[in-house]
């Protein structure tokens, strides 16, 4: 009984007792509204194409729409420092990536993260993207911190689509030579795609052969 308490916790959705390394039980994980892994490249989905514009990306991977549970957990972790949600997000990302690769999904040679601005990093104390994605990536993955911010940008969430594009124009630079490499750029929420696209453009200029956007979630058209 005591051991049960020590090594188990409750599912974040249905409250069932589960192994303490996980946050969702198997049933809730299977029922979670992930994007279907059968459509490996989400840019081929008409509803995603209408919501997100990624002209410099060859493909897009994401767990689900930024709504419901996923929105709740991501925003609480990011803006309200609910750090207990970290493990839950890692579990979701890892599960969806496994399904993606089981279906022949794109395997990057190297991963980059959209760098958080220095002021936001200092204010938050952690980078919610690397915290949830690094533990979810396969062991031995090549991860680079060389994608850096070139200029000070305003938070994208306060801006219109046109302003977002202007705000992040030439925002990133990459000093590493990634000639011929297959690249993934990771972010937590992709809203219009403008930040991701500017980062993808920087990777292409540095010689990348292919660039994919990997995101935890995508903002649906009706909530922009
Ligand atoms: Zn459950």
pLDDT in tens, 151-176: 777 777 777 877 777 777 778 888 88
Of the two residues 177 and 166, the one the predictor is more confident about is: 177
3 pLDDT higher than 70: no
Residue 56: the pLDDT is 96
Q: How far is the CA of 88 from the centre of ligand 1 (A)?
A: 12
User: Do 87 and 179 sit in the same domain of this protein?
Assistant: yes
Report pLDDT digits (tens) over 66-111.
Answer: 999 999 999 999 888 788 899 999 999 999 999 999 999 999 999 9
Q: Are residues 83 and 101 in the same domain?
A: yes
Is the pTM higher than 0.75? The answer reads yes
* 86 CA → ligand 1 middle, Å: 17
27 plus 43 within the same structural domain: no
CA of 9 to the centre of ligand 1 (A): 11
Ligand 1 centre and the CA of 126: distance in Å? 28
Q: Same domain for 4 and 51?
A: no
Strands (E), 99-171: 110-113, 143-144, 147-149
Residues 18 and 84 in one domain: no
% of the chain exceeding 90 in pLDDT: 63
CB proximity list for 24: less than 8 A, separation 6 or greater: 11, 12, 13, 18, 32, 88, 91, 92
Supply 138's token pair.
């396969």
Domain containing 2 equals 1-31
Residue 218, pLDDT score: 97
> Helix, strand, or coil here: 193?
coil
| Spacing, Cα 71 to ligand 1 middle (Å) | 18
Q: Which residues pair with 8 in a beta bridge?
A: 19
Position 6 scores a pLDDT of 54
CB 186 within 8 A of CB 59: no
The reply to whether 21 and 124 lie within a common domain is no
What's the gap in Å between 10 CA and the centre of ligand 1?
A: 8
Residues 223, 96, 149, CA angle at the centre, nearest 5°? 65
pLDDT exceeds 90 at position 201: yes
* Residue 135, Ramachandran bin (φ over 0: left; ψ between -120 and 50: alpha; else beta): alpha
Asked whether residue 182 falls in the same domain as residue 84, the answer is yes
What does the pLDDT read at residue 109? 97
Ion ligand 1, residue ranges at CB < 5 A: 11, 13-14, 16, 25, 28
40 and 27 assigned to the same domain = no
**Average pLDDT of the chain, as a whole number:** 89
How far, in Å, is the centroid of ligand 1 from the Cα of 223?
A: 27
Shared domain check, 62 and 48: yes
What is the Å distance from ligand 1's center to 83 Cα? 20
Look at residue 7 in the predicted model and tell me its pLDDT.
58
54: pLDDT strictly greater than 70: yes
Same domain, 111 and 2: no
* Number of separate domains in the chain: 2
What is the whole-number distance in angstroms between the Cα of residue 14 and the centre of ligand 1? 4
Q: Which residues of 43-82 are buried (b: 16+ CB within 10 A; e: fewer)?
A: bebeebeebbbbebbbbbbbbbbbeebbbebbeebbeeee
- 95 alpha carbon to ligand 1 midpoint, in Å? 15
Angle at 194 between CA 171 and CA 88, to 5 degrees: 100
On whether both 150 and 205 belong to a single domain, the answer is: yes
The Cα–Cα gap between 14 and 104 comes to 32
Pair 66, 165 in one domain: yes
Q: What is the CATH number of the domain that holds 125?
A: 3.40.50
Confidence of residue 1 (pLDDT cuts 50, 70, 90): very low
């Amino acid at each position: 009984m005591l051991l049960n308490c020590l090594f188990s916790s409750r599912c974040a959705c249905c409250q069932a007792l589960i192994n303490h390394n996980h946050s969702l039980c198997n049933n809730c994980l299977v029922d979670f509204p992930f994007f279907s892994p059968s459509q490996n490249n989400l840019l081929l989905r008409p509803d995603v194409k209408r919501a997100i514009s990624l002209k410099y990306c060859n493909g897009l991977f994401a767990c689900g729409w930024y709504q419901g549970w996923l929105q709740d957990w991501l925003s609480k972790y990011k803006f309200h420092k609910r750090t207990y949600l970290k493990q839950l997000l890692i579990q979701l990302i890892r599960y969806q990536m496994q399904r993606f690769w089981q279906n022949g999904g794109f395997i990057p040679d190297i991963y980059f993260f959209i760098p958080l601005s220095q002021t936001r990093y200092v204010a938050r104390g952690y980078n919610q993207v690397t915290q949830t994605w690094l533990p979810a990536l396969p062991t031995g993955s090549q991860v680079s911190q060389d994608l850096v911010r070139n200029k000070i940008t305003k938070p994208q969430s306060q801006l219109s689509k046109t302003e977002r594009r202007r705000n992040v124009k030439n925002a990133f630079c990459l000093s590493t030579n990634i000639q011929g490499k297959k690249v993934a750029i990771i972010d937590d929420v992709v809203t219009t795609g403008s930040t991701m696209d500017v980062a993808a453009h920087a990777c292409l200029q540095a010689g990348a052969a292919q660039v994919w956007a990997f995101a935890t979630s995508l903002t649906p058209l009706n909530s922009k």
